[in-house]
Amino acid sequence: MADAHILENVVCPFCGCLCDDLRLTIENDVIVQCERGCALGKAKFLHYREDRMLSSTLRQGSSQIEISLETAIDHAARILVEARRPLIYGLSSTENDAHREAYRLAEYIGAVVDNTSSVCHGPSIIGTQASGEPMASLAEVRNRADLVIYWGANPLYAHPRHVNRFVRAPGEYIRDPKAERQMWVVDVRESVTSRIANRSLIITPGSDLEVIGTLRALVRGHTVDVASVGGVSLDTLCELANAMKRAKYGVLFYGLGLTQSRGRHNNIDAAIRLVQDLNSFTKWSMLPMRGHYNVTGANKTSTWTTGYPYAVDYSRGYPRYQPGEYTAVDLLRRREVDALLNVAADPAAHFPRDAIRGLKSIPIINLDPKRNLTSLIASVNIPTAIAGIECDGAVARMDGLPLYLKKIVEPPEGILPDREVLRMIFDRVKEVSDN
């Protein structure tokens, strides 16, 4: 009989919701069924064996030839030791101990180390550095929030269970979420989420800052002498401002539509100030909709190690921080880095075109479980185990809650977790540079 068992309360390592109620069936050390996850979570657990890299490779001309792990480590170490301005990037889709190894290596070789928040919620962090941030917790949202606003976010698409688990689910003091909790969506277009919201406000693209500024003025009781702002009538904005002040417990969830549109960190700064102002009237909190399942963890590990959440340069032997300068895209655009160690990210798929041109001109060491666009152009590929499936580790949910990812099945033979591979690279770098 096949060896089959069921695992309950499994954490889904896909998006920042980190749902931890999944139920997996494992047969002969293979996950065969996933219950309670959304389509994205299910895909992660059921297709984990597809598109895998099963051996380290070295690029020669246009082909990738298979090499042993030891040889790959040696190549990686030599590339890093020879580089004058190496960059370590990624980290948001792996567990925290891998980050810690990456920082140790970055410090030793004097690299820049950056995580993917520099291309998603980096502006949110800059906003926080200007103003602080009254952060929500997802449990409090479910238990108490009577007004939830999604701004520039489309959770039904990117965080499919967010609405169901936290907003449309009953909580301790919101027994009937349909009746007692309002959900508003502010976005530049209609979306699947806005269609199920109680109210949807479509604003002109790029007008977020003006709209938030107007809301701040209205909340503070100023009169605003215009007919509309950002394509929304003043009456509607007054209605929103009043609803915000009237709410007992309001929560603003904001997504890339706010962080990556015109205004960027100024949008976030304004949104933070709006929520702070509202606390003089009632209780308000906010939360960024973090995408990669452990991008929050990457900011945390970076901060406790270096003081800074991303964009950290160790070239002087101590950490320095400067978004726009030590952020991966900017470094690549300026052709400033001469080697990349990429961990658990796919910059070749997601970076702007001129940064990708920069990528293509330098040696890349790529650590990832799966084939992707970056693995195609990498000089050295080292396959790794999938955190939360083939190795354990700690991660952080979008509201900062830490969760422990269990190891569920064995990784393919000879495949190690990111942290182990990084440790081996570190040891080899030390040997090579000592000689």
Residue ranges in contact with ligand SF4 by CB under 6 A: 12, 14-15, 17-19, 37-38, 40-41, 159-161
Which position among 137, 154, 342, 366 is part of the footprint of another protein (CB under 8 A)? 137
Considering only the stretches 40-48, 113-121, 230-238, 395-403, report the one whose residues sit in contact with another protein under the rule CB under 8 A. 395-403
Closest CA to 29 of 11, 54, 7: 7
In sequence order, the β-bridge partners of residue 24 are 7, 34
* DSSP SS3 for 294: coil
Count the site residues for another protein by CB under 8 A: 67
Stretch that binds another protein, among 52-60, 129-137, 199-207, 211-219 (CB under 8 A): 129-137
Q: Using the rule CB under 8 A, is 433 a contact of another protein?
A: no
- Identify the residue among 46, 58, 69, 401 touching another protein (CB under 8 A): 401
The binder of 192, among another protein, ligand SF4, none, by C-beta within 5 to 8 A per type, is: none
Indicate whether 313 belongs to the interface with another protein (CB under 8 A): no
When binding is defined by CB under 8 A, the residue of 151, 249, 253, 293 that contacts another protein is 249
Q: Does residue 235 touch another protein according to CB under 8 A?
A: no
12 binds, among another protein, ligand SF4, none (CB under 5 to 8 A by kind): ligand SF4
- Determine, following the binding rule CB under 8 A, whether residue 168 of this chain makes contact with another protein: no
Q: Name the residue nearer to another protein (CB basis): 145 or 356.
A: 145
Overall size of the chain counted in residues: 435
Closest CA to 281 of 234, 233, 236, 218: 218
The dihedral region occupied by 213, where left means phi > 0, alpha psi between -120 and 50, and beta the remainder, is alpha
d(CA 376, CA 132): 41
> Which residue spans within 344-424 are E strands per DSSP?
364-368, 380-383, 393-396, 402-405
> What residues contact 357, with CB distance under 8 A and at least 6 apart?
none
**For strand 364-368 and strand 380-383, is the pairing parallel, antiparallel, or unpaired?**
parallel
Q: Of 78-86, 211-219, 315-323, 414-422, which part binds another protein (CB under 8 A)?
A: 315-323
Question: Would you call 131 helix, strand, or coil by DSSP?
Answer: helix
25 binds, among ligand SF4, another protein, none (CB under 5 to 8 A by kind): none
With beta carbons less than 8 A apart as the criterion, state whether 260 and 120 touch: yes
Residue from 44, 59, 144, 159 touching another protein (CB under 8 A): that is: 144
Residue nearest to ligand SF4 (CB): 41
Answer yes or no whether residue 266 interacts with another protein by CB under 8 A: no
134 binds, among ligand SF4, another protein, none (CB under 5 to 8 A by kind): another protein
Residue 309's binding partner out of ligand SF4, another protein, none, with CB under 5 to 8 Å set by partner kind: another protein
Choose one: 47-55, 178-186, 299-307, 354-362; the region binding another protein (CB under 8 A): 299-307
CA distance 253 to 417: 33
Place of tokens 């389509």: 39
Q: Are 149 and 251 in contact (CB under 8 A)?
A: yes
CA 301, 378, 421: angle at the middle one, nearest 5?
45
